[in-house]
Copies of this chain bind each other. A is one copy, B any other.
Amino acid sequence: MEEALISCGNPSSLHAGGRAAALLLRKARGQVAALAGVRLDEIFFTAGGTESNAWALRGLAEPARGRGKHLILSAVEHLSVLQTAREMEKEGWSVTLIPVDRTGRVDPSAVEGALTSHTVLVSVQWANPEVGTLQPIAEIARRVKSRGVLFHTDAVAAAGRVSLEIAALPIDAVSLASGPLGGPPGAGALVLRRGVRIQPLFVGGTQEEGRRAGTENLVGLAGFGAAAERAAKELPVFPGKVLPLRERLVRGILKLVSEAVFNGDPTDRLPGHLSISFPGADAEALVLALDREGVSVGLGSACSSKAVKASHVLKAMGVGDPQALGTVTLTWGPETAAEEVDRFLEILPRALDVIGKEPIRK
């Protein structure tokens, strides 16, 4: 990012600064392509996961509408997917939401059963950012593609946590974002497999092969590339390093709060991720109380603190309000030490005590 800050060129310019910027951009593209397991020319940079998801839905569906105007999504997609689809409904598209089981898992045969001759696109996330459940993506993709329907997956939460190897799967488009990899927010990509038709959201420039106009956010994309490279390097050791801490956390939390509930699939889930409900507690107050002790945890939907209502994901899983509203998300990485887990377990009862006595912002 510092190199990009100094260069500060426009990758489309002819002069020397422009060429240096183009090289930095190419490097970032290669780093992201390596993490995704695709070719360099299949990476199209965006301003983040939200844009990638909106672009995938609108951009893939539009050129295929000759077939019909039907979309299929899971009920636990990120809100950028669900609400884009809701906008498209106003424009005449019909949308089928596939329910999930108690663990947040989508049944591939339910997706297949929802396919009609009018279906143009199916979008099911790779992993759920709130509860950590991994979806049977390969199986869903296989069933969708065998019917000649486009398949998109939002892999924003999965990238860097599980191996993607997209080229080996029958997937047309994949959303990625820099922020969840530890890179700067405001940078992302849409992986578009060769030959997939997409309508641009932004026109009027030749950037990204004319598919996404606008001078590139070079600093952010350089950071995205670096984060992708680090994530790809850590990936082989990631589960081995983070899984033992999960056991330590789960056992420790249950010992302190016997009624604590762990949401999502117990095994088929993101490593380094726990969704924990303290039924009856005020999750927002808990986040603040833990923060005062130096521990940052996420609130229900990780993306927005302003949504102080039960997460649509937990609702779709059949979780009631008292449990859903007391839910926080804990994430950790290979650099997290066992001592930090112990310190969290030491802080947690104090924080719960504080919010039990004087609930904040209730």
Contact = CB atoms under 8 A, between A and B. Distances in A.
A311 interface: no
B18 A220 contact: no
A123 to B, nearest CB: 13
Contacts of A229: none
B14 A184 contact: no
A299 B83 CA distance: 41
Interface string A279-313: 00000100110110000111100011111000000
Contacts of A185: 10, 215-218
A362 to B, nearest CB: 14
A167 to B, nearest CB: 27
B80 A304 contact: no
A50 interface: yes
B5 A1 contact: yes
Interface stretch (A28-36, A202-210, A350-358): A202-210
Nearest to A47: B47
A80 B205 contact: yes
A204 B303 CA distance: 10
A48 interface: yes
Contact of A213 (B17, B80, B219, B299): B80
Interface residues of A, number: 63
Contact of A205 (B213, B287, B296, B304): B304
A190 to B, nearest CB: 13
Interface in A65-80: 78-80
A122 interface: no
Which residue, A82, A206, A304, has most C-beta atoms of chain B within 10 A?
A304
A291 B13 CA distance: 11
B53 A186 contact: no
Copies of this subunit: 2
A357 to B, nearest CB: 19
A256 interface: no
A12 interface: yes
Interface string A39-56: 000000001111101100
Contact of A202 (B54, B203, B287, B296): B54
B51 A47 contact: yes
A34 to B, nearest CB: 22
Given A203-B80, A205-B50, A304-B205, A184 B18 contact: no
Contacts of A80: 202-205, 213-214
A189 to B, nearest CB: 13
A186 B47 contact: yes
A92 to B, nearest CB: 12
A15 B184 contact: no
17 contacts: A5-B184, A10-B185, A12-B306, A14-B305, A15-B296, A15-B297, A16-B296, A50-B214, A51-B202, A80-B202, A80-B204, A83-B213, A186-B219, A201-B201, A207-B304, A215-B303, A220-B220
